[in-house]
Structure 1
Amino acid sequence: MRKFCSRRSVIVMELLSEENVSDRDVSLQEVVLKGRVYGTLLNDLVELETMKDDFLKSPYKQPPEAPVLYMKPRNTYNEHGQPLLLPKDVAEVQMGATLGIVIGQTATAVKKISALDVVSGFTIIGDVTVPHKSFFRPAVKHRARDGFCFLGPQVIGSALIDDINDVEVKTYVNDQIVCSWLTSNLYRSVAQLLEDVTAFMTLSRGDVLHVGVRQDAPIVRKADRIRIEIDPIGVLETNVVREQAIIVDRGHL
């Protein structure tokens, strides 16, 4: 069976947000992911502008009014330092570096002005996707492959970040910077996203909601080395390996 995360990864990913960490930074080993990871689509101002004509076409014929979300199921969870396994039927993938919001308490119908009160902290997410063009049907086959969601390596308490709406997200491939963007360029800020999402669904302690990835997120291939930096949260690194190169007995995980 394929190895998509180590035993250490499994333990880590079952530990995110056991306690509120808003006033300190902790490693993922100290906190527990008891909930789900949600990704956000169409939250990039540049992407929305380039797609405005597409929104007027069938089937919707208008831009989305509420946030467009998708799930990264548990089999996708991966961590800093672990390889990104390139599936046998895929030549390249897209690495979407983004900011993850770690929920610290039950959040229902929160208001923008107090939205950060429900946040334990923030972490780095590397959201991996097989390149595809359509947003009009669930892209499970493209987004939910084993090991396609990197989290960590730590959660930084929200009180330790001066302005979460002015944070730079940088991606390096083979030591060359290939993508850089600011959270100030999001269509919905962190607080606005939380208000709009919790208007129609409850987020629970341990859930992680990421703010979205760039439309031009970099393409990576076999043997590429990837480094994601979000100051002051830290650095997340991985390298791309063809999946058949790592074989383990899943019963030992």
Structure 2
Amino acid sequence: MNTTTTRVGWRPEGTVYGALLNFRHEMDLWAPRMNEAPYKAPPKAPVLYVKTANTFTPSGQPIALPAGASVEVAASLGLVMGAGGVAGVVLFNDVAIAHESYYRPPVKTRCVDGFLGLGPECVPLDRLGGLDALRDLEIELHRNGVHKQTTRLADWVRDAATLLTDVREFMSLRPGDVLMTGTDCLPEGGRELVHAGDSVEIIAPGFQSVVHHFVAEELT
């Protein structure tokens, strides 16, 4: 696959990683607790998690919500690796069961079936003006047609280039892998909650919108 080509119905071909605590507001909210046990210091390297292949849900397809779970959504920008570095960029709707342990979120909260809404295309990086230009992007999240959040990438703790450099100090990223650059929280520290019947749209200049409808999980 040529990852620099825009594709409708795009799907990851490698591992998808997400970065935690990569927005300044959330880092500021957590700062008073970072010196507490068991960590006793802020993280020095990027804190990552994995979104497994069972979570991938193309734009336009429904996402099922487990019964009784409090589920949150957030917009994220993903860097798609090519043979020579970042080849393209994708919008994501990162879905998770709300939880308190943000340093080490349990896999079961983030890797529920269907819990990564995929953007419909991989936009070539050069079309967006390169890595440095990504900081100028603003991503809007709408629920049921109402604007709920604007994520400003100027508020990254580590910009795209710095995040890539720091991650590569302890692991390799191969062609087809995706590095999501983090999600921002709402002013009070949480993320937008969704319920069965809700529709979420994520919008950013230069990208096709990412749209997902949420439905109740069918019990068997």
TM-score, normalisation: structure 2: 0.92
Determine which of 170, 173, 181 is the counterpart of 1:211.
181
User: Could you tell me which residue of structure 2 aligns to residue 111 of structure 1?
Assistant: none
Structure 2 counterpart of 1:72, one-letter code? K
Out of 15, 26, 30, the position equivalent to 1:47 is 26
Q: Is the 8 A contact 2:58 2:119 kept in 1?
A: yes
Q: Which amino acid in structure 2 is aligned with residue 243 of structure 1?
A: E
Number of the residue aligned with 2:113: 146
Distance (whole Å) between structure 2 residues aligned to residue 184 and residue 151 of structure 1:
23
Deviation track 1:89-123 (CA, whole Å, cap 9, x = no partner) reads 42x31101110111112xxxxxxxxxxx5011001
Aligned residue pair count: 213
Per-residue deviation, 1:136: 3.9
Deviation at 1:20, TM superposition (A): 4.2
C-alpha contact (below 8 Å) 1:83/1:238 kept by paired residues: yes
SS of 1:26's partner is coil
Q: Which runs of 5+ in 1 are unaligned?
A: 1-17, 106-116, 248-253
Segments of structure 2 that go 5 or more residues without pairing to the other structure are none
| Paired position in structure 2 for 1:223 | 197
| 1:25 alignment partner in structure 2 | 6
Distance in 2 between the 1:228 and 1:174 partners? 11
Q: If each structure's helix is expressed as a fraction of its own residues, which one has the higher value? A: 1
Shift of 1:142: 0.7
Question: Which residue among 122, 137, 142 is the counterpart of 2:104?
Answer: 137
How far the C-alpha of 1:25 sits from its partner, in A, is 3.0
1:240 to 189, 199, 214: 214
Instruction: Select the structure of larger CA radius of gyration.
Output: 1
Matches within 5 A, 1:123-134: 123-134=90-101
Contact 1:83 1:240 in 2 (8 A): yes
Instruction: Confirm whether residue 201 of structure 1 aligns to residue 171 of structure 2.
Output: yes
CA-CA distance at 1:179 after TM superposition:
0.6
Partner in structure 1 of residue 79 of structure 2? 101
The alignment's C-alpha RMSD in Å is: 1.5
Amino acid in structure 1 at the alignment position of 2:195: R
Is contact 2:90-2:119 (8 Å) kept? yes
**Could you tell me how far apart the structure 1 residues matched to 2:105 and 2:183 are?**
17
Residue in 2 that maps onto 1:189: 159
Which residue matches 2:46?
67
Question: Is the CA contact (8 Å cut-off) linking 2:78 and 2:90 kept in structure 1?
Answer: yes
Aligned-partner SS, 1:197 = helix
Contact 2:66 2:217 in 1 (8 A): yes
Shift of 1:68: 0.2
Given residue 8 of structure 2, which amino acid in structure 1 is its aligned partner? S
Separation in 1, partners of 2:194, 2:104? 24
Distance 2:97 2:206 in 1: 29
Preserved CA contact (<8 Å) 2:76 2:91: yes
* Matching residue of 1:177: 147
SS of the counterpart of 1:179? strand
Cα distance in 1 for partners of 2:63, 2:181 equals 22
Letter in 1 for 2:13: K
In the aligned structure 2, how far is the partner of 1:224 from the partner of 1:143? 19
- Identity, in percent, stands at 33
- Per the normalisation by structure 1, the TM-score is 0.80
Q: Deviations over 1:199-246 (max 9, x none)?
A: 11000000011000112231111111110012112200011100118x
Q: Per the alignment, do residues 134 and 178 of structure 1 end up closer, same or farther by CA in structure 2, a change over 3 Å counting?
A: same
